[in-house]
Amino acid sequence: MTPIQDILIVGGGTAGWLTAAFLARQLGTAQGGVRITLVESSDIGIIGVGEGTFPSIRGTLSAIGIGEAEFLQACSATYKQGIRFDHWVRPPGTPGADHYFHPFSQPSQRPGAPELLPYWLGGEAGPTRAFAEAVTLQKAVADARHGPKRVGDGDYLGPLNYAYHFDAGRFATLLATHGQALGVRRVIATVDRVDLDEQGAIAAVHTREAGTLTAGLYIDCSGFRARLIGEALGSPFSSMRDVLFVDRALAMQVPYARPDAPIASYTIASAQESGWIWDIGLQERRGIGHVYSSRHCDDSDAERALRRYIGPAADDLSPRRLTLDIGYRETQWVKNCVAVGLAGGFLEPLESSGIGLIETAAYLIGQLFPFNGDTAPVARHFNAFMKERYARIVDFIKLHYGLTQRTDTAFWRDNADPASFTESLKEKLAMWRCRPPQRLDFITDVEMYLPASWQYVLYGMEFKTEPGAWMAPLNRGEEARREFATIAQLGAHALRDLPPHRTLIEQILARSDRRAA
Ligand code: FAD
């Protein structure tokens, strides 16, 4: 067994540079530890979309050594407190709630206070308050377009949980600069041949411009092409397109009408006839895109829906067109090669799992790193963990579609048909029809989305327990009512304490400029 002293990463998108920078920090590249080389093609661009993140990104940026103000400045980044889902339950113009919110903050749970979900289900929060609104103050703050923190809170800290929206192209550039400062060697070249040894491991990769490159461990970050893990090693791709139907995207960058326009601190996911539109506010523009199912709608109808959503601001813009491979490789680590990012899988952008999965993979590789060259046990654990994580994300995303009451188009009818559900999702829903979800229903280390996120979506989608199957508890109703009232009061207080979103960003950038001067 030969000890691993060097890594070759193929691909310089978010997956490649985030993994490179993270591992350079973990494995002491700049101090003479494991050497890292990243090879990226100048002929093949990065995907350049992926503007919404998950709160774990704060820990990752901090681990890489990027300051929050530097990140906001370099990537035109803004704060994200959750996702607002418009028209997922019922189509526009139908009586009933037209949106729900998935906040990042957990339900408020003061020590000793009763768990609030059963009392919310029992009507103790009042008949009209949606679950997310009743149990956290984040929706009130986000609705008012205030930020999740104050300028004086430390980097990556704040009273409310948050992630970011950012410009994906600028993010890759920032990560590349940091990665190189951390000792990563950058090679601009296109891999055009891969040699395998007699055991089927990668022996060398050949490039057009930089000759032959070898390493102890290869990390495939080559995007949907999956140049190493798919093309060279043949690790099979499990398509999820019969569960998650969207497989095309149109993306536009839309300037604000005014430079001081308020910025939403949440993603809007607006359900359409055959897919949904994302609407993300950055500092200088919005990123707006339509993801849709090509089996339910043609490209020109999809573009019309996107233009209708944006209005006249779209008149002079042409969309970027993308085809999506929805699914994942069950074996992402084969011998001396591990896939990260789109090369490993992609499950549509609805809950921003793409970059979160890159962070998970980079973290696992750093934790499990097989210094002695014995990759087999590490690969088994990595594969088991990632497969389970992907499978649970599939269920979580399908939950958003499968609980719809929409019957207006074939897309929504097909989505609500249990024949399109995974067996594991059917089992979960069967259990929750008899009683509300509990913490122990989830193996939380594997889950990317915590139990509260499942509850926000379940009850946002107006999921119902079978009548008579379960009874709301009554014994601590008085305390629960007091908790609900306190959360509402805290929401009002937070609006005085937390600045408007755009003001917060401007204050943080101005403070950072003053410090630099
Ligand atoms: P890419 O960006 O495609 O990079 C591939 C790299 O490999 C490039 O540098 C290319 O030059 C290089 N390469 C390829 N072949 C070779 C070769 N032969 N030789 C050398 N180099 C090569 N994720 C989120 O977390 N949130 C979101 O909101 C989100 N929205 C999305 C919306 C859409 C429509 C899509 C398609 C994806 C979205 N994602 C989102 C996913 C996210 O964009 C990706 O996970 C992320 O950008 C990582 O991409 P990547 O680095 O794996 O691949």
Q: Which residues contribute to the annotated binding site for FAD?
A: 12-15, 191, 342, 355
Kind plus residue range of the DSSP H or E element containing 85? strand 82-86
The set of residues, in sequence order, having a beta carbon less than 8 Å from that of 324 and lying 6+ positions away, is 246, 247, 248, 249, 291, 346, 348
Distance of CA 444 to the CA centre of its chain: 17
Contact 335, 196 (CB under 8 A): no
- Residue 171 sits at the vertex; the CA angle it makes with 361 and 25, to the nearest 5 degrees, is 50
Instruction: Choose which residue among 8, 9, 14, 205 to substitute to test ligand 1 binding: the one with the highest number of ligand atoms within 8 A of its C-beta.
Output: 14
The CA-atom distances, in angstroms, between 442 and each of 433, 439, 455 are: 16, 6, 12
pLDDT of res. 259:
86
- The number of beta carbons lying within 10 Å of the beta carbon of residue 385 is 17
φ/ψ of residue 357, rounded to 5: -70, -30
CA of 349 to the centre of ligand 1 (A): 12
Contact 227, 10 (CB under 8 A): yes
pLDDT of res. 443:
84
CA distance 153 to 147: 12
Q: Which tokens sit at 240?
A: 């999820």
**Per CATH, which fold does 6-51+167-240+328-374 belong to?**
FAD/NAD(P)-binding domain (3.50.50)
The set of residues, in sequence order, having a beta carbon less than 8 Å from that of 91 and lying 6+ positions away, is 271, 406, 408
CA distance 97 to 7: 52
SS3 state of residue 116: helix
SS3 state of residue 203: strand
- Identify which of 17, 38, 28 has the alpha carbon closest to the alpha carbon of residue 366: 28
| Percentages of the chain per state (helix, strand, coil), in multiples of 5 | 40, 20, 40
Give yes or no for residue 287 CB within 6 A of ligand 1: no
Look at ligand 1, atom 40, and give the residue with the nearest C-alpha.
50
pLDDT in tens, the chain (517 residues): 899 999 999 999 999 999 999 999 999 898 999 999 999 999 999 998 879 999 999 999 999 999 999 999 999 999 999 999 999 999 999 999 999 999 999 997 788 889 899 999 999 998 778 999 999 999 999 999 999 999 999 999 999 999 999 999 999 999 999 999 999 999 999 999 999 999 999 999 999 999 999 999 999 999 999 999 999 999 999 999 999 999 999 999 999 989 888 999 999 999 999 999 999 999 999 999 999 999 999 999 999 999 999 999 999 999 999 999 999 999 999 999 999 999 999 999 999 999 999 999 999 999 999 999 999 999 999 999 999 999 999 999 999 999 999 999 999 999 999 999 999 999 999 999 999 998 889 987 899 999 999 999 999 999 998 888 888 887 899 999 999 999 999 988 999 999 999 999 999 999 988 888 7
Helices (H) and strands (E) in the chain, counts: 15, 21
Q: Is the whole model's pTM more than 0.80, yes or no? A: yes
Please measure the distance between the N-terminal and C-terminal CA atoms of the chain and give it in whole angstroms: 53
Using the structure block, give the residue that is written with the tokens 């989830």. 442
Contact 158, 46 (CB under 8 A): no
Give yes or no for residue 324 CB within 6 A of ligand 1: yes
Kind plus residue range of the DSSP H or E element containing 487? helix 477-497
Give yes or no for residue 188 CB within 6 A of ligand 1: no
Kind plus residue range of the DSSP H or E element containing 204? strand 202-207
Say what angle helices 168-181 and 14-26 make with each other, to 10 degrees.
30
The set of residues, in sequence order, having a beta carbon less than 8 Å from that of 133 and lying 6+ positions away, is 101, 139, 140
**Ligand 1, closest atom to CA 280?**
28
Q: Which residues contribute to the annotated binding site for L-tryptophan?
A: 351
Contact 233, 343 (CB under 8 A): no
CA of 265 to the centre of ligand 1 (A): 24
pLDDT of res. 239:
97
SS3 state of residue 157: coil
Q: Are strands 275-281 and 237-239 parallel, antiparallel or unpaired?
A: unpaired
CA distance 241 to 508: 42
CA distance 151 to 147: 10
Q: Is 80 a catalytic residue?
A: yes
